[in-house]
Amino acid sequence: MKQFDIPSIFRSPIISKVKAFRKSQDPRKKDFSPTMLDFGNVQLYIARHFGFCYGVENAIEIAYRAVEENKGKRIFLLSQMIHNPTVNEDLSRHGIEFIQDTSGKQLISWEELNSNDVVIIPAFGTTLEIEQVLNDRGVSTEKYNTTCPFVEKVWNRAEKLGTENHTLVIHGKYNHEETRATFSHTAVNSEAVIIKNMEEAAFLAKCITGEVSKEAFYTYFKGKHTPNFDPEIHLSKIGVINQTTMLASETQEIAEYLKKVTEEYTERSKISKTFADTRDTLCYATNDNQSAVEALMNESLDFAVVVGGYNSSNTAHLVELLEQRFPTYFIKDETEILNTEAIRSFNIHTHEVETIENWMKGGKIGITSGASCPDSIIDTVISKLLVLSGSESPIEEVISRLG
59 and 48 share a domain? no
Note the pLDDT tens digit of each residue in 14-64.
999 999 999 999 998 899 999 999 999 999 999 999 999 899 999 999 999
299 and 240 share a domain? no
* pLDDT computed for residue 279 by the predictor: 63
For residue 142, is it within any domain? no
Between residues 2 and 15, which one has the greater pLDDT? 15
Note the pLDDT tens digit of each residue in 126-144.
999 999 999 999 998 999 9
59 and 105 share a domain? yes
155 and 242 share a domain? yes
* pLDDT computed for residue 81 by the predictor: 85
The number of folded domains in the chain is: 3
Reported as a pLDDT band with limits 50, 70 and 90, residue 358 is very high
Quick one: average pLDDT of 288-311?
96
* pLDDT computed for residue 223 by the predictor: 96
Residue 270 pLDDT > 70: no
* Three-state DSSP string of the chain: CCCCCCCHHHCCCCHHHHHHHHHHHCCCCCCCCCEEEECCCCEEEECCCCCCCHHHHHHHHHHHHHHHHCCCCCEEECCCCCCCHHHHHHHHHCCCEECECCCCCECCCHHHCCCCCEEEECCCCCCHHHHHHHHHCCCCCCCCECCCHHHHHHHHHHHHHHHCCCEEEEECCCCCHHHHHHHHHHHCCCCEEEECCHHHHHHHHHHHHCCCCHHHHHHHCCCCECCCCCHHHHCCEEEEEECCCCCHHHHHHHHHHHHHHHHHHHHHHCCCCEEECCHHHCCHHHHHHHHHHHHHCCCCCCEEEEECCCCCHHHHHHHHHHCCCCCEEEECCHHHECCCCEEEEEECCCCEEEEEECCCCCCEEEEEECCCCCHHHHHHHHHHHHHHHCCCCCHHHHHHCCC
Reported as a pLDDT band with limits 50, 70 and 90, residue 285 is confident
359 and 292 share a domain? yes
Distances (CA, A) of 338 to 81, 153, 207: 28, 42, 50
* pLDDT computed for residue 273 by the predictor: 66
For residue 236, is it within any domain? yes
* pLDDT computed for residue 111 by the predictor: 96
Packing angle, helices 149-163 and 177-187, rounded to 10: 30
Among the candidates 230, 249, 282, a domain finishes at 282
* pLDDT computed for residue 191 by the predictor: 96
For residue 326, is it within any domain? yes
For residue 1, is it within any domain? no
Note the pLDDT tens digit of each residue in 57-92.
999 999 999 999 999 999 999 998 888 999 999 999
169 and 260 share a domain? yes
Among the candidates 81, 101, 136, a domain finishes at 136
Packing angle, helices 248-269 and 198-209, rounded to 10: 20
Report the alpha-carbon distance of residue 122 to residue 81 in Å, rounded.
Answer: 5
φ, ψ at 69 (rounded to 5°) = -85, -5
385 and 340 share a domain? yes
Residue 257 pLDDT > 80: yes
99 and 155 share a domain? no
Closest CA to 52 of 333, 368, 381, 373: 373
Instruction: Judge whether 228 and 191 are in contact, CB under 8 Å.
Output: yes
213 and 307 share a domain? no
For residue 272, is it within any domain? yes
Quick one: average pLDDT of 288-304?
96
Instruction: Judge whether 381 and 367 are in contact, CB under 8 Å.
Output: yes
High-pLDDT (> 70) share of the chain, %: 97
Residue 321 pLDDT > 90: yes
Residue 352 belongs to domain with CATH number? 3.40.1010.20
Report the alpha-carbon distance of residue 79 to residue 98 in Å, rounded.
Answer: 5
Both ends of the chain: CA-CA distance in Å? 23
Distances (CA, A) of 319 to 87, 370, 382: 21, 10, 18
Residue 269 pLDDT > 90: no
High-pLDDT (> 90) share of the chain, %: 80
Reported as a pLDDT band with limits 50, 70 and 90, residue 181 is very high
* pLDDT computed for residue 260 by the predictor: 92
Residue 373 pLDDT > 70: yes
Closest CA to 255 of 270, 242, 265: 242
- Which residue segment(s) compose the domain that 63 sits in? 54-136
For residue 189, is it within any domain? yes
- Give the active site residues: 178
Instruction: Judge whether 186 and 216 are in contact, CB under 8 Å.
Output: no
CA atoms in the 13 A half-sphere facing the CB of 39:
23
Report the alpha-carbon distance of residue 49 to residue 248 in Å, rounded.
Answer: 15
Among the candidates 258, 282, 306, a domain finishes at 282
φ, ψ at 364 (rounded to 5°) = -100, 105
Residue 79 belongs to domain with CATH number? 3.40.50.11270
235 and 349 share a domain? no
Residue 226 pLDDT > 90: yes
For residue 141, is it within any domain? no
